[in-house]
Structure 1
Amino acid sequence: MSANNDLIVHPRPSSIVASLYTLRDLNVDVAILHGPPGCSFKHARLLEEDNLHVLTSAMDESDFVFGGREKLSATIDRAVELFSPKSIALVGTCTSMIIGEELKDSVGAVSDDIAVICVETHAGYANNTAGVMAVLEPAAGLGLISTEELTRQRFLLKEATNIELRNGAASRGYLEPSRGDLKYKVAEHLLELLKSGKKILGILNAKKETAYMFSDEILALYETAEILGVSKNIVLMANTDVDLGLPRVREHAKNIMAEFEKRNVPIHEIIGGLDEYAVTGDRVAKLIDEKYSDFDAALIAGVPHALLMEPFAGMELISITNGPRQVAPIKEMGHDYVIVEIDLHPKTLGISSIVPSEFGDTLRAICADQIKNNPQK
């Protein structure tokens, strides 16, 4: 049998985890994973830091054969006792879905005062965005989001999937993980661009809560330019529209914009919401064509591979991602430098303000050292 080179064999995000993050974005109080105790353990634990209580029905080998409905009902009772929630989500897993457990059969035991979302999902979908829709469709049925927002989210998820198929983790069968270019080398080069008077775009095109760290790179660019007296050469764009997205997503945008304002860092162009990272390309292209075509370089933080390459023709591109498997595809698109914020996810959960990034701190530190060692320059 010949190998199928199109088969994606490196690990990819789980639909179950995508469901949990979406429940977090809806501000659901408790999510109960109906499956083994270790299912999605890492992310379930991290989401406890972000005000989503995640419990498990802890199915074992016996339940795989005889079913785990009694355990699920008992876990629901325990969740109500512990947290007095206004909303609960029952989330399927590979185990419960394979043996045909009906989540809705356990809803009857829940008080009518508690909204219950049954999330029929598992980790076997080709794209993890299926896990998002598994939450949003029943949420719309309960009136937790509007039909208009459901339609909008469906479109955004389709585009996000397309981006990953073209230039992301689903673009080839195997992607070698990489830490990308050395941060201090890229920081030194960026400082040289600033000192030589180059005009630079700083573009935040980040996904939801990841923007809390990616914003720091945009801050560091502007703050460094101010120290060097060249902030007039910097234009900042951000997908931080405070009126778009699920409740938690809008809250993230408000927090970030408030901090930019507090630090007197101007966002010259709003290019969309924090859930619109996959569809900002046309907006950025239009802005560059109309106003910024003479710029020399761009620093892109978040999901750089979602932006079109053509508008940046003639510009030097420095891009920042948090995906080690994303380095090679971004380089192949034509980006000159790609660096990775490897510890971003655990540092951007359960917070409400911008957190320091490794690259941002590196840029600031090298700038400070250069000024200290060469005070006349």
Structure 2
Amino acid sequence: MHPRPSPIAASLYTLRDLNADVVIMHGPHGCCFRTGRLLESDGVRVLTTAMVENDFIFGASEKLEEALRKANEMFKPKLVGIVGTCASMIIGEDLKEAIDNVETEAIVLPVESHGGFGEGDNTEGAIAVLESAVKYDVIAEQEADRQIQMLKLATEVEKTRGMGKGEYIKPNFGDKKEEIAKIILEALKNGEKVGFILNAKKETSYLFADVLNIDFNTINPDNIPTIIANLDENIGLPRIRAHVKNIKEDLEENGIVIDYITGGLDEYPVTPRKAEKILKNGKFDLIIVAGVPHALKIENLPETTETIAVTDGPRLVEPLKQLGYDHVVAELDAHSKTLGTNQIVDSDFGMMIRTVLNWKK
């Protein structure tokens, strides 16, 4: 009942992860305006055909061809994505015809996505990009199939455990970060067994990894927490693998040791299964799950384990409480804080942990 990300935005992000140089949105100039502007920070040039009322009736294939020609002249791209919008797809604009009419050395991927594409899930837009990428030999079919499977599982997680369940969810900004930071520090000081689980996706991992980026030796050198993370740098699209490599280098420079790697960043719907096994066998007193905490089946863990979720959405706080998390911390603007970066960025909660730690010294 409340607004959620659209397939168009997912198409844009997926083209970014394929390292597209230019994305042309075939629709009105305001369509997905914020997403397009944010992606400029990641080095993607986002253009629009700026369709207007007459184009909704008579079509705008000439505008699309002109935009593609200009993109070719201005940026000399190697990979271009043309993303449909509600306006162009509803009137049946032929993206492939426009591509055929323009001479370019770039690989141009037509993506017939729009706001209500498929079942309306945002992941439908990402799947459309992957299917087009296979047709144009940008990625292998086997990798696309794996990605699509993960995306479908991600949709299932959101519809059954997240903010896609169907009812209206009132925004909630979570528990006070200072109080939750104190819980973690006291547990470590008192010798309790603490586990940090990073189960993040895409570039938001730069923000959530900051929760791990703590000098634990200054708290209790005899009680270093266990760190579990979905940071396998051999899995995923090129940009995603680069994120993992950057994060691991940052953590290693700060002396942070990852004890268990559960999979890649794009496997966040399934990596919690490995984490759950480790947590069940480890007899933890406190666990902190950052990124996509609702993918972890917290309800199957021992009731004696105190739990903290760190999420990026005010509309995920209530679902996480319903799943059984004792405490929920909400980070805001995760995408805007992490686009264009190649290193871990300060999170509000990470900074609060470090602040409370300095108070306690």
TM-score range (shorter-chain normalised) is: over 0.9
Q: Which residue among 312, 325, 341 is the counterpart of 1:351?
A: 341
2:98 maps to 1:106: yes
Equivalent residue letter for 1:246: L
Q: Counterpart in 1 of 2:270? A: 279
Partner Cα distance (1:312, 1:117) in 2: 48
How far residue 351 of structure 1 moved from its aligned partner, in angstroms, is 0.5
Aligned partners of 2:72 and 2:104 also within 8 Å = no
2:122 maps to 1:128: yes
Q: Counterpart in 1 of 2:257? A: 266
2:28 maps to 1:36: yes
Equivalent residue letter for 1:97: M
Inter-CA distance 112–73: structure 2 relative to 1 (3 Å threshold) = closer
CA offset digits 1:214-272 (Å, max 9, x no partner) = 0001113xx1x311224634100110100001111011011111111111110000011
Q: Counterpart in 2 of 1:288? A: 279
How far residue 39 of structure 1 moved from its aligned partner, in angstroms, is 0.2
CA RMSD of aligned residues (A): 1.2
**Larger mean Cα displacement after TM superposition, 121-130 or 199-208:** 121-130
What is the DSSP-based 3-state SS (H/G/I as helix, E as strand, rest coil) of the residue aligned with 1:51? coil
What is the DSSP-based 3-state SS (H/G/I as helix, E as strand, rest coil) of the residue aligned with 1:320? strand
Partner Cα distance (2:248, 2:102) in 1: 39
Q: Which residue among 163, 166, 170 is the counterpart of 2:164?
A: 170
2:79 maps to 1:87: yes
**What 5-or-longer segments of structure 1 have no aligned partner?**
1-8, 372-377
Equivalent residue letter for 1:369: W
CA offset digits 1:19-40 (Å, max 9, x no partner) = 0000000001100000000000
Q: Counterpart in 2 of 1:302? A: 291
2:202 maps to 1:208: yes
How far residue 111 of structure 1 moved from its aligned partner, in angstroms, is 3.2
**What 5-or-longer segments of structure 2 have no aligned partner?**
none
2:176 maps to 1:186: no
What is the DSSP-based 3-state SS (H/G/I as helix, E as strand, rest coil) of the residue aligned with 1:298? strand
What is the DSSP-based 3-state SS (H/G/I as helix, E as strand, rest coil) of the residue aligned with 1:54? strand
Q: Counterpart in 1 of 2:69? A: 77
Q: Counterpart in 1 of 2:54? A: 62
Q: Counterpart in 1 of 2:353? A: 363
Aligned partners of 1:301 and 1:321 also within 8 Å = yes
Partner Cα distance (2:313, 2:28) in 1: 28
Partner Cα distance (1:112, 1:57) in 2: 18
TM-score (norm 2): 0.97
Partner Cα distance (1:109, 1:231) in 2: 68
Q: Counterpart in 2 of 1:332? A: 322
Q: Percent identity?
A: 46
Aligned partners of 1:197 and 1:230 also within 8 Å = no
Count of matched residue pairs: 358
Partner Cα distance (2:103, 2:235) in 1: 32
How far residue 68 of structure 1 moved from its aligned partner, in angstroms, is 0.6
What is the DSSP-based 3-state SS (H/G/I as helix, E as strand, rest coil) of the residue aligned with 2:213? helix
Partner Cα distance (1:170, 1:231) in 2: 42
TM-score (norm 1): 0.93
Partner Cα distance (2:321, 2:133) in 1: 39
**Larger mean Cα displacement after TM superposition, 362-371 or 208-217:** 362-371
Aligned partners of 1:218 and 1:301 also within 8 Å = no
Aligned partners of 1:34 and 1:91 also within 8 Å = yes
How far residue 311 of structure 1 moved from its aligned partner, in angstroms, is 3.1
How far residue 312 of structure 1 moved from its aligned partner, in angstroms, is 4.8
Q: Counterpart in 2 of 1:251? A: 242
